[in-house]
Each structure stands twice: as structure tokens, then as C-alpha cells.
Structure 1
Amino acid sequence: MALARAESGVGATVSAFWSQVHPVFMLPPLAASLFGAILTTHFTPSLAILHVVAIFAAVYTAHLKDGYVDFHVRGEDDDHPLSEHGCRVGLAASTATFALCCLLLFVLVGWMAVALTLPTWVIAYHHAPQLDTNPLTATTGYPLGIALSILGGFSVQSGTIAAVPLGFALVFLVLLSGIKVIDDAQDYDYDRSIDKRTVAVTLGPQRAYTVAYGLMVAALLVVVAFAAARVFPPTAVLAAVAFAAVALVARRATPDIATMLLIRGSYVFLAVLVAAVWFEPLAALV
């Protein structure tokens, strides 16, 4: 049975599977895993890579399953590069890769690392058609995956968990949930026509924007509070300032432009936090 829908051959099949790699949405979970790893005092590259591969497999599963459901099950998409059989083969391969990574993590690190990594695949596989129809789970699924990536990346290195990664996980869960509400608002008319209950459909666009920016403000206030309490490095406040500047511009933009700005603002937010954590030991020597 053919794996690609449009063409046959090895090149077409590889291209079809590669089309399910979406860097804009895949890079943040992978970066979150590495961010969690550098929060520890001892960094083992091989373990970090193993966890990154597990997270990649989970996110790939999400994209593959989402495309499969939207095209082959719901008929919402106009096209999809993989056949139904190809989607199932891809899901089997990504799931097997994830399972192998979890097995290795259990052997090399312990049960906690697996306990914090396994839910990422559960969220990914069940995003469509189960979790994406409820306003709460449709909004928090991806942000929760990011939060778990941070916690898992830390636990893989340390074998435990601590207040700092928990704090950062909370911040990203709340911040990215706000961005996701704005992202979903782009599809308000279509989602409403098919009774897909996003926050925008449930509350209306204007109330959804209020909720979204309220969540983002709350996340930035948490960063400032944790920095003041010395849970986060003091320079973490710069990340909040940088993202706040982006959010102020996005507030006046259309949902599609706002989403683009806020997603890229979250990259800047993460980058500044990485710098704050990475250079904190050096600051202590000055």
C-alpha cells in the first residue's frame, strides 16, 4: 500500500513524511527540554539528546495525528501528503521511537524522568480528535507539553525535580496558554461553523482577547515575583520586559499578525531566560 498520496517512490515518501515536521511549533518544545537541562548543576549531553529525541517523537506524533484526523477522518483539510496507511505507519514509527527513548530513560535515569516524559505523548496522540474540541484542553495542550518538556529535561539530568524548573514550567504554561487563545481566534468563524469550542467560540473574540492578555500579564508578574524572591535569577525580569514590549505591539494587531508576533516574542522570552540562567554563575564571580 502506498504511503504518500500524490506520488510513489522513495523520494516522494520521504518528502511526505518530512512535510509533517513543522519547525515553528516543534522547536519550542525541543528548546524547552534543553532549557530544563541547563537548569541543573550537572549537564550530560547524551541524556539531553535522548530526551530531545523523545520530545521530537511526541510532537511529530501530534502533527501526524492532527493531519490524519483533519483530512482522513473529519474531512476538514483540502489535502494531505500521506495516505491513511502512511499516517498509520508514521504514527507507529514515532510511537516506537518515543517508547524506546522512555525505556532508555528508565534504565539510565529512573522512573521520574519517564513519568514526566510519557504524558507528552499522551497529550500529543489525543490532541485530535479528543482534546482539541474542549476550550480548556484545546488551549492548554501545547503549553502543557512545553511545561512537561522543561520538567522532563531537568529530571533527566538530575533524577529529581526542584522549585526553579517548576516555576519556569508554570510561567510557560500560563504564558503560552494566552498565546494559544489568540492563535485559536484566527479560526473563529470556521471553528464556530463546525461547533469547535475554542475559548474564542465559547466566550466571543473580545472576551477571549481579554482572557489571553490577562494570562500573559499574569505569567510576566509571576516572573517578576519569582525574581524578587530569588527563585529565578534577577535578570529574568529582562525576559518579562522584552515579552511585554512585543505584547503591547501585538495587542493592536489582527489575530494572525498578533499570533506571529507573540510566538516570536516567546522565542525572545525563552532566549533571555536561557541567558539569565546560563550567566548567573558568572555574575556571582563579578
Structure 2
Amino acid sequence: MAIARDDSGVGPTARALWSQVHPVFMTPPLAASLFGAILAGDVDPVVAAVHVVAMFAAVYTAHVKDGYVDFHVRGEDDDHPLTETGCRTALALSTATFALCCLALGLLVDALAVAVTLPTWLIAYHHAPQLDTNPLTATTGYPLGIALSVLGGFYVQAGTITAVPLGFALVFLTLLSGIKVIDDAQDYAYDRSIEKRTVAVAFGPDRAYDIAYGLMTVALVAVVAFAAARIFPLTALVAALAFAAVAGIARRADPELATMLLIRGSYVFLAVLVAAVRFDPIGRLV
């Protein structure tokens, strides 16, 4: 039962399995989980670690399933490091890891902690070939997973959900959906050729860009509104300004460069929000 397509042995097998860890897309869900924990205040490191591992397992599941469908089922990709058996083995390992994390959360917290966490795996597993076939779910799957990661990271610490994590989850869902539209626009010609209905295919590239930046604008306006209502700390305004500056530059770039800038900008956005929640220097001066 070969795991790696190119070779056999421990080394090639480990490299093939590790190839499905994509740091650019792995980092935000894990950081979102920790951000939710920070929002809760007092952080239990064991519980936080279990939830982070659950998020890792969920995103890993999405990457493996997506690669399996695109290469072994649809024949869209030119290459893939895992055999069909390798993909099934990786999915079994990631799903078992996620299940163990859910069991631990059920014991350490409660059943609702499992209920908040479980949807992330369901979204990950069903992204391909179910959720990636229409503009709405193809766009919102990954952002919704991150929003749920924030809520789950908060709940496993606080044992409840308040307006603050809900507000942040909504902001991330909207902002990252805008970035996802831009990301999908990179593959407009190919997606159109195989009738994959992303936002760019459904509405055209120009309209897709308008929708994308409209979503990002709504998210940033929401940050301002929540800060004005003192639901978010006032320092969150700095995060909105920082991302707005990046988005302004990205608006004049091609989809590939714009995606790179916006993803890095989202990292800055999250980092400033973490600092705002922990320290809120502007709020202390007002």
C-alpha cells in the first residue's frame, strides 16, 4: 500500500504526508483559535492546545480531500504527492486526530464545545467536491471555518459565547470572503473552462473585484462601528486602517499579487487585533 506516488520508504512517505501542510492557509485558522482564547481572558493552555490541534486536523483534512478530488477524481491537477491510498490514509489520520480532540474537549469542557468545533471538520471534508461547486459556498467555506475557529477558541475557555467573539467572527467571515473572491479570480480562465462556478466565473472578473472589495469594506466599517460602540477595543481601529492601506495597494495589482498582499495584510490585521484586545493603548488614553 504505497502512500507516496514518487517513491516508497519512510522518508518519501513522511514528505508526501507533510506536503499537505500549507503554512499560508494553515496559520490563520490556528491563530484564530488562539485569538478566540485571548478574547476569553484567562487561558487554559491545555484546552487551548487541544482546540488548536483540532483546527490543524480540520484544515489538513480539507487540503488532503481537495487534492484527492482535484487530482484523482476530477483530473484537474497535473500532479499530487499522495496515491489514492495515501490520501485515504491521511484522511483517516487527520479525522482520528480531530475525533480525539473533540473527545478531549467534551471531557475537559462540555458537549457544546464539541458542537462548536465539529462544523469545522464538516466544512473541511465537504469542501470538495460538494461545497466548491457554487459561488457562495466555494467562497465562504474557508472564511466560515476561521470564524468558527474564533468562536470555538473562545467557547472552550469561557464556556459561553458573547457579542465580542461573535463580532470578530462576523468581521473575519466577511473580510476573508472578500480575499477568497480575489484568490479565486486567479484561476478564472481555467475555472470557466471546467464550469467551476466561482464568483469570478458567475459574475465576471470585474464584477468579482467589486464584490470582493465591497465585502472587505463592509468588514472594515463593521470594525469601526463595533469600536465606536465599545464592543471592540478602540485600538481595533488601527487594524482597520492598516488593512485598508494594504487593500488600497492590492486594488491596483493583478489577482496573484493582490492575493499575496491581502493574505499578508490579514496577518497584520489579526496581529493588531490581538494587541488591541490584550493591551488597547488607545482605549487607555481615552
TM-score band w.r.t. shorter chain: over 0.9
Q: CA deviation at 1:282?
A: 10
Amino acid paired to 1:212:
A
Partner of residue 53, structure 1:
53
- Alpha-carbon RMSD: 1.3
Contact 2:120 2:145 in 1 (8 A): yes
- Give distance in 1, aligned partners of 2:40 and 2:84: 43
Amino acid paired to 1:103:
L
Q: CA deviation at 1:131?
A: 0.4
Contact 2:36 2:154 in 1 (8 A): yes
Partner of residue 198, structure 2:
198
Amino acid paired to 1:84:
E
Q: CA deviation at 1:41?
A: 2.3
Secondary structure at the residue paired with 1:234? coil
1:236-251 correspondence runs (5 A): 236-251=236-251
Identity of paired residues, percent?
A: 78
Question: Which digits, 9 at most, give the CA deviation of each residue in 1:185-212, with x for residues without a partner?
Answer: 0000000000000000000000000000
1:24-173 correspondence runs (5 A): 24-173=24-173
1:204-223 correspondence runs (5 A): 204-223=204-223
Contact 2:38 2:278 in 1 (8 A): yes
Q: CA deviation at 1:285?
A: 9.4
Partner of residue 178, structure 1:
178
Q: CA deviation at 1:107?
A: 1.0
- Give distance in 2, aligned partners of 1:225 and 1:79: 46
Amino acid paired to 1:57:
A
Question: Cα distance 1:285–1:250, how it changes in 2: closer, same or farther (>3 A)?
Answer: closer
Question: Which digits, 9 at most, give the CA deviation of each residue in 1:240-261, with x for residues without a partner?
Answer: 0000000000000000000000
- Give distance in 1, aligned partners of 2:186 and 2:26: 20
Contact 2:235 2:282 in 1 (8 A): no
Contact 2:235 2:283 in 1 (8 A): no
Amino acid paired to 1:22:
H
Partner of residue 5, structure 2:
5
Secondary structure at the residue paired with 1:39? helix
Contact 2:233 2:283 in 1 (8 A): no
Question: Which digits, 9 at most, give the CA deviation of each residue in 1:101-153, with x for residues without a partner?
Answer: 00110111012211111000000000001101110000000000000000000
Amino acid paired to 2:202:
T
Question: Cα distance 1:186–1:101, how it changes in 2: closer, same or farther (>3 A)?
Answer: same
Partner of residue 256, structure 2:
256
Contact 2:234 2:282 in 1 (8 A): no
TM-score (normalised: structure 1):
0.98
Q: CA deviation at 1:42?
A: 1.5
- Give distance in 2, aligned partners of 1:262 and 1:96: 33
Amino acid paired to 2:10:
V
Contact 1:65 1:87 in 2 (8 A): yes
Partner of residue 278, structure 2:
278
Amino acid paired to 1:176:
L
Q: CA deviation at 1:283?
A: 5.9
Secondary structure at the residue paired with 1:20? coil
Corresponding pairs, count: 286
- Give distance in 2, aligned partners of 1:115 and 1:241: 35
- Give distance in 1, aligned partners of 2:174 and 2:54: 24
Contact 1:112 1:160 in 2 (8 A): no
Contact 1:236 1:272 in 2 (8 A): yes
- Give distance in 1, aligned partners of 2:283 and 2:266: 25
- Give distance in 2, aligned partners of 1:218 and 1:104: 37
Question: Which stretches in structure 1 are left out of the alignment for 5+ residues?
Answer: none
Amino acid paired to 1:276:
A
Larger deviation, residues 274-283 vs 154-163: 274-283
Contact 1:139 1:199 in 2 (8 A): yes
- Give distance in 1, aligned partners of 2:85 and 2:275: 44
Partner of residue 234, structure 1:
234
Contact 1:239 1:268 in 2 (8 A): yes
| Runs of 4+ with deviation above 6 angstroms | none
Secondary structure at the residue paired with 1:2? coil
- Give distance in 1, aligned partners of 2:245 and 2:42: 34
Amino acid paired to 1:121:
W
